[in-house]
Structure 1
Amino acid sequence: MRKASGMKLTNRLVAFVTLIVICAIFVVFIGGAISFRKLGQNYLTNYLDGVVNVIDQQLADPEGAQAFSRWLPHLLKASNVVELEISSSAGSIYSFKGLHPLSDPNVLYISHYQLEKNTGFNIDIKSLPPYTEFTYSIGAMSSISIAIMIIIMGLVWGMNWLRRQLHGSELLEVRGRMILAGRVDKYAVGSEEEWPATASLALDQMIAELKDARQERSRFDTFIRTHTFLDQLTGTANRVLFDSRLQSIVQDQDTYGSVILIRISEWDHLLAEKGKEAADDLIQDVGMILSNLIQRYSDTVLSRYFDAEFAIMIPQQSAKEIKQFTSQLLKALERLTPAAPLETDNWCHIGVTFFSSGERRGRIMDEADMALRSAQLHRANSWYAFKKEQQWDDSRGSVRWRTLLDAVFNAGGPILYQQPVVNVDGETLLHRELLARIKDENGVLIKASRFLPAVEQVGFNIRMDKLVIAKSLQLLKTMPVSDVFSINVSIIALLDKRFVRWLRDELLQTPRTVLNRLSFEIPEGSLVKHLDAMRPVARMIVGLGCKLVIDQAGRTIVSTHYIKDIKVDYIKLHRSLIREIHQRQENQLFVRSMLGACADSNAKVIAVGVENNKEWQVLKQLGVHGGQGRYFGAEISLISDSNIQQK
C-alpha cells in the first residue's frame, strides 16, 4: 500500500538545489586550490632554474666561483632557499644553510640539478614552497570572497523565489494530506493559489461527484428502507414493520404491553363518493392525531396496518394506563368531522388487547380484531378491551417510581450486568455491553426496558447516567486490560451542558489506557434528531480516546448520512431486524442497505439479539462484523447475587 511522503515537494527541491550549488562551490574551490598550488610550484621551479643558470655561469669563471660567498647568500635568502649545496665527485664545493626557523621540515621543496656548463657538478636545493607564510588578505582574496558572497546571496534569493513559485503545490499537498486524514468536507474546494491548477480543479470535481454519489446512495438506501417498512401516505410503519416489532417483543423475556387497533368505518364508501384525495386527507388527519398522542410513551410503534386501519403497540405499560390512553385517543378522534357518507358519531372504533412474553403474534392481533368488532356492535364511536385472564395492572405511578429510584441512587446506583459482543468468528470478544438493573422494594430485579421510561418520566436520566458511567470507570481501572466495556448513555443527558462538562472532566481525569477500553452507545433515532447538537459531543468522546457506538439502528427509519458526519466505530442493529431474519427477506434487505451505507467508512455493523445458529449464519453471509445475544452468552451480573429475582 502506498504511503504519503513525509517531505514537502518544495523542501525536496530546495534541498536538491542547495546541495548542487554547495557541491559546485566545493569542486571549484578544490580545483582552484590545486591550480593555485600548481602555479606556485611552477613559478618556484622557473625561478630556481634561473638561479641555477647564474651559478652555472659563475662557476665556469674561475674568478666568479671565488665570489660566491659575497653575492650568493643574499640571492638565496631573497629566493626563500633554506639550504643549497654545490658538489662534485671530489666533494662539496660550496654549502649554504639559512637560519629560517622551520616548524615542519617536511614542507620543504627539494630540487636536484646537474650543471650543463660544468659537467660533473650537482646542485641540491631545499626551498620554502610558495605562499607558505601567506595569510588571508582582504585585498588579495576580496574578489574570491565577493564571488562566494554573491553565490550565497543568489542561492538564498533563488530558494525564496522557488518557494514562492511552489507555494501553490504546497497548498495542494496540504489539502491532499487533510483529505487522507478524513477531513474531506472542510477541504472539498481548494484555494485559487493551488498549483497545478488543473490538478486542483480535477480534485474539486472528483470530491463534488463523490459527495453527490454518497448523498445519492444515502437517499437510495433511505428510499429502500422507507418503501420496505413505511407507509408512503402517513409516514408511519407499515404492516411488515409492525408485525416484525411485535414478534420481536413477545419473544423477549419479561415483557408485556398492549396492541390497539383503530378502524375507520365506511372508508371504502368515502373513497368511492369523495375520491382518493378526501379519503387520504382523513387518513392523514387520523395519523397526525395518533402520532402526537403516542409521543408520551417510549418504544411505541404506530402503523397503518390496512388502508383504513391503524395499529399501535405500547410496551411496558399497565392496563390502567392503556385504558386511560385509549379514552383520550377516542376523544381526540371525535374532534374530527369526517366528510359524508361517514357518520359523525359512528365512524371510528377501537379494539384493545394485552399481551405478555411468550404469546403468539397472530393470536394477539386476532384478539385486538375481536375487541374492535365488539366496539363496532355499539353502533357509535367507542372502544372495547379484550378480556384476558392476565392483565398487567402494575399501577406504579411517578411518585412511587421517584421514591424507588431515589432509594436506588442513595444505595449506590443500579446493578450492572454484562453481555459479550463477539467478532464474526464467534470467538474473539469485541467488548462487553453493560446493562443496568434495579431492585424494587421486594428485592425483585427490574430490567432497563421497564424502568427507563419511568426514569425519563421523573427526570432522572442525568443521575442514572452519571452513576453508571462512574461505576463503569471504576470497574475498568480495577479489571484486566483485556476487558472492554460499552455503556449506554441517553440523549437527554448528552444534551445537557452541565452533564457534558462533568463527563469531560471525568474522562480527562482517567488514564488514556482506560479510556481506550470504553465505548459509549447512543440510540440512532435520537442521535439523528439532534445531530447538530451531538456533533461536538461525539467529537469530544472520540477525541479523548473512547469509541462511539450507535445503538438501535433500524428501530426508526432515518437517513444514514450521520455515519459520514461523525466517527462511528460500531453500529448495532435493532433486535427486531435480527429476529428470524432467515425467514424475512425484507429484514435482510435492510441489513444489506445498512452494510452498504457503512462501506466507505470505518463503521462496523453488529447484530444484536442473535438467538440461534440459523440467524447467525444468515448474518455472517450478509457480512456483519459481529454479533450479540443469548446465542453467544446470556446477561451475567458483574457481582455475585444469587438471591436476586427476575422481573
Structure 2
Amino acid sequence: MKFTNKLIGFIIVCVLSSIGVVLLGGGVSLRGLAIETQKQNISRLIDVMDEQLAMEDSEPRFAFWLPELLRAHSVLQLTVEKDGIVSYDFDGRTADTEGATSFLKEYHFELKANSDFKAKVIMLSPYYAMEYPPELFTGVSTGLLIALFGLVIAIWLLKKGMYGAELLSTRSYKILNGEHIKVAVGSEFEWPKATSRAFDKLIADLEDTKQERSRFDSYMRTNAFVDASTGIGNRDFFLNQLEAMLSDPGVIAGTIIKIELYELSQLNYNHGVASVDEMVKSVSELLSKFVERFTGSVLARYRGDQFTILLPRVTGPESEIVMKQLYKLLTRISLFTPVDCDELFYTGVAIYHYAERAEEVLENVDQALKIAVLQGCSGWFLYEQEEQTPVYAKGTVRWRGLFERTFKNNAFYYEQQLILSMENKQVLGHEIYPRLKDENDEWVHAGVFLPMAEKCGVLKRIDQLTVERAISNLEQGEPISCGINLDIQSYLDKRFMRAVYLDIIRLPVRLRAMLHFEIHEYQINRNLEMLLEPVKNLKALGCCIAVDMVGQDVVDSSYIKKLDVDIIKIHPSLVRDLHKRQINQLAIRSILGGTVNLATIVIAVGVESKGEWDALNKLGVYGAQGHFCNQVRVLTE
C-alpha cells in the first residue's frame, strides 16, 4: 500500500494546510476589520471636536461632555495640538490599564475644518479584555468537523478505489522478481481492469512462447544428436561421446563394439522399407536394454545399417564374455521379416585406451568388422593389440583390501579444479574429487576406483568423507564455492542424507550457499520424483544444486524448474573442439535457451583450448572449467 499511503498523506497535508490557511486568513482579516471599525468610530468623535473648535470659543464646548464619551470608547489619552501647543489633553489611564501597554493602539488625525490642529488618540485594542465563550466558536467548530468528516470519507473511498491498483502494483513487483508464474492470473479486484487483463494475456503469451521455445530447443537437440527412426544417439552423438571418453583420465580403457546389419539395402528391396524399419527398431530396443546394465555405456546408430556401443572399463576377458552374451541375444531376436539371423549380424570389437586418437579406435573396430564379415556366418571378431593390464582389472577382493587400508590410514586425497568466469576470468569456485594411491604408490583417478567402490559397497563412506572435506575447506580455508559430486544412491538414502543435513547445519548461513551438490543429468532423468525431497531439503538449508553431464543424453529439461537448479554444467563431449563443430554450438544454444528468465547459470566442463574458450564466451556461457583454466591440484591435509 505504499503508493496509496503516499497519496493519502499528500491529500491530508493539502486539506489540513488549506483549513489552516483559511483559519489564519480569517483571523487576520477579522483583526484588521475590528481595528478599522474602532478607527472609524474615533474618527466620528474627532469630526465632532473639529466642529466645536470651529466656533472659536475660549474653551471648547466638548471639554464638558467628551471625557465620558472617550472613557466609554476605551480611549486612554487624547491630545489636540496646534503648532506644537496643546489645546486639549485628556488622560484616562488608570492602574488597571498600566500593564496593558502591549494592547495599546495609537491613531493620528488631521482636523478637516481646522487644518492647523492635529489630534493624537491612544486607546485599548478592541481585543483587550474580550471574552471568548464557546458559543462564539460553534460555527467554526461545526465547519471544521464537517471538513474532517468529509476528509475521512474521502480517504476511505480513495483506499477502496486504490485497493485494486495496489493489487496490480504488487503483482507487477512479483513479475519483475521473476515470479510471474505465481501471478499468471490476476485477482478480480485489480484495477484498472484493462491493465489486469493485459497482464494476464501477456503472461499467458510469454508461457506459450517459452514452451514453444523449449519444444524447439528439444527438437533441435533431438535432430542434432538423435536418430529419428530409432530414438537413440546418431553418429555425431557417438563421436562426441567417444572423444570425451578418450580424454577422460577416469576411463583408462574400454570396449567399442560396431554391429552391422549385413546387406540392409537388399533387405529393403526384398521385404520393403517398412518391414525392415520395424526390424531395425527391434534391434535398437534390444541393444538399449542390453547396455543398461553397464555404467556409462553409450549406444548409437552410427550409420543406417550399423550400431555402435561404448562400454567404459570393460576390457580383456570381460569383453569376450560381454560379446558372447550379446551374440546370443542377437541370434534369438524375433524379427518381423523372414531373415536368417545367422547371416544378418556381423560385429567388430576393439579395445580403446585413454589418450588414444578417435581415428585409430574407429579404424581398429572397422578392421575387426571387416574380418568378421570375411569369416562368414553371423559372428564377431575382437581386434587384438598389445595392452597393459589396467589398474581396475584387479579382483574385487584386492580392491576391497585397498579400500580398507585407505580408510584405516585415512589416506584419501582430494584434487581441486577451479571454475573461472568467462567475462573476466575471476574464480567462481572449485570442484573437488577424491583420489587414492594403490599398492605401487600410483595415483588412482576417481573415475577408476569409484565404480569399484560401488561394487565393494563402500561408495557411501567415500561420499561421506567428501562432504566432510568440503565442509572443512569452507570452515578453515578461503570462503569460496565448493562443488561435490555424490552418487545417486547417496542422495536417495534418507539415513545418509540426514547425516549430511546435520553436518551442513553447523555451517554459518553464508557458507552454506557456497556448498554445491552436483547430480548427473541422466540420474535425474531416471529418479526425478525421488530426488525432489532431498533437493528441497538441501535448498532449504541454503545450499546450491548443480547438474553435471548435461548434454550427454537428450532428455527433458523440465527438471531445471522442478528442482530449482542453480548451476548447469555442460558435458565435455559438447565442448570438445566446439569452435569447429556447428552442431555442438547449436546444442549449447538450446541448453542456454532452457535457462532464459531463470536464475540458473551455465558452466562448461572440459575446456582444453583457447578456441573452445572463445566459442563458449561468444555463445554466452557464464563460466568454464578444465585444463585450459587451470591444472588439477591435489589438496594437502
TM-score range, shorter chain: 0.7 to 0.9
Deviation for aligned residue 1:555: 0.9
Taking the TM superposition and a 5 Å limit, the aligned residue runs for 1:283-432 are 283-343=280-340, 347-372=344-369, 383-390=380-387, 392=389, 394-396=392-394, 401=399, 404-405=402-403, 408-409=406-407, 411-412=409-410, 414-424=412-422, 427-432=425-430
Taking the TM superposition and a 5 Å limit, the aligned residue runs for 1:210-609 are 210-253=206-249, 255-265=252-262, 267-343=264-340, 347-372=344-369, 383-390=380-387, 392=389, 394-396=392-394, 401=399, 404-405=402-403, 408-409=406-407, 411-412=409-410, 414-424=412-422, 427-457=425-455, 462-481=460-479, 483-498=480-495, 502-531=499-528, 547-563=544-560, 568=565, 570-598=567-595, 600-609=597-606
Comparing 334-343 and 113-122, the one that deviates more: 113-122
Q: Is the 8 A contact 1:413 1:464 kept in 2?
A: no
Specify the code of the residue in structure 1 equivalent to 2:23: F
Q: Is the 8 A contact 1:354 1:391 kept in 2?
A: no
Deviations 1:3-47 (Å, cap 9, x if unpaired)? xxxx84433432333233223212212211112212322333344
Comparing 138-147 and 86-95, the one that deviates more: 86-95
Deviations 1:132-174 (Å, cap 9, x if unpaired)? 4456643221221121122112112112211222222222211
Deviation for aligned residue 1:509: 3.4
Q: Is the 8 A contact 1:416 1:436 kept in 2?
A: yes
The structure-2 alpha-carbon separation of the partners of 1:132 and 1:510, relative to structure 1 and needing over 3 Å to count, comes to farther
The structure-2 alpha-carbon separation of the partners of 1:22 and 1:503, relative to structure 1 and needing over 3 Å to count, comes to farther
Q: 2:339 aligns to what SS in structure 1?
A: coil
Aligned match for 2:636, one of 618, 632, 639: 639
Q: Distance in 2 between matches of 1:387 and 1:325?
A: 16
| Counterpart in the other structure of 2:153 | 157
Comparing 25-34 and 500-509, the one that deviates more: 500-509
Q: Distance in 1 between matches of 2:86 and 2:193?
A: 91
Q: Report how many residues are paired.
A: 628
Specify the code of the residue in structure 1 equivalent to 2:277: D
Specify the code of the residue in structure 2 equivalent to 1:367: N
Q: Is the 8 A contact 1:570 1:605 kept in 2?
A: yes
The structure-2 alpha-carbon separation of the partners of 1:116 and 1:583, relative to structure 1 and needing over 3 Å to count, comes to closer
Deviation for aligned residue 1:242: 1.2
Specify the code of the residue in structure 1 equivalent to 2:387: Q
Deviations 1:461-515 (Å, cap 9, x if unpaired)? 554333323222221232235x443333444444445555555554443234434
- The reply on whether 1:99 has 2:95 as its aligned counterpart is yes
Deviation for aligned residue 1:637: 0.8
Q: Distance in 2 between matches of 1:404 and 1:103?
A: 112
Specify the code of the residue in structure 2 equivalent to 1:84: Q
The structure-2 alpha-carbon separation of the partners of 1:378 and 1:165, relative to structure 1 and needing over 3 Å to count, comes to same
Comparing 114-123 and 271-280, the one that deviates more: 114-123
Gap regions ≥5 residues in structure 2? none
The structure-2 alpha-carbon separation of the partners of 1:414 and 1:100, relative to structure 1 and needing over 3 Å to count, comes to farther
Deviations 1:154-204 (Å, cap 9, x if unpaired)? 112112211222222222211111111011211222223222222222222
| Counterpart in the other structure of 1:84 | 77
Deviations 1:199-238 (Å, cap 9, x if unpaired)? 2222222222222222222222222221121111221111
Q: Is the 8 A contact 2:276 2:337 kept in 1?
A: no
Q: Is the 8 A contact 2:372 2:379 kept in 1?
A: yes
| Counterpart in the other structure of 1:32 | 26
- The reply on whether 1:43 has 2:30 as its aligned counterpart is no
Q: Distance in 2 between matches of 1:419 and 1:596?
A: 27
| Counterpart in the other structure of 1:18 | 12
Specify the code of the residue in structure 2 equivalent to 1:42: E
Q: Distance in 2 between matches of 1:133 and 1:233?
A: 110
The structure-2 alpha-carbon separation of the partners of 1:124 and 1:462, relative to structure 1 and needing over 3 Å to count, comes to farther
The structure-2 alpha-carbon separation of the partners of 1:597 and 1:294, relative to structure 1 and needing over 3 Å to count, comes to same
Q: 1:341 aligns to what SS in structure 2?
A: coil
**Normalised TM-score (structure 2):** 0.85
The structure-2 alpha-carbon separation of the partners of 1:127 and 1:320, relative to structure 1 and needing over 3 Å to count, comes to farther
Deviation for aligned residue 1:560: 4.0
Q: Distance in 1 between matches of 2:173 and 2:504?
A: 30
Q: Is the 8 A contact 1:248 1:575 kept in 2?
A: yes
Q: Distance in 2 between matches of 1:186 and 1:45?
A: 76
Gap regions ≥5 residues in structure 1? 1-6, 641-647
Taking the TM superposition and a 5 Å limit, the aligned residue runs for 1:166-205 are 166-205=162-201
Specify the code of the residue in structure 2 equivalent to 1:14: I
Specify the code of the residue in structure 2 equivalent to 1:34: V
**Normalised TM-score (structure 1):** 0.84
Q: Distance in 1 between matches of 2:563 and 2:458?
A: 28
Deviations 1:567-621 (Å, cap 9, x if unpaired)? 5554332112222334433223323433444455454443322223343344444
Q: Distance in 2 between matches of 1:403 and 1:171?
A: 67
Q: Distance in 2 between matches of 1:94 and 1:243?
A: 126
Q: Distance in 2 between matches of 1:194 and 1:431?
A: 45
Q: 1:354 aligns to what SS in structure 2?
A: strand
Q: Is the 8 A contact 2:349 2:381 kept in 1?
A: yes
Comparing 595-604 and 353-362, the one that deviates more: 595-604
Deviation for aligned residue 1:330: 3.4
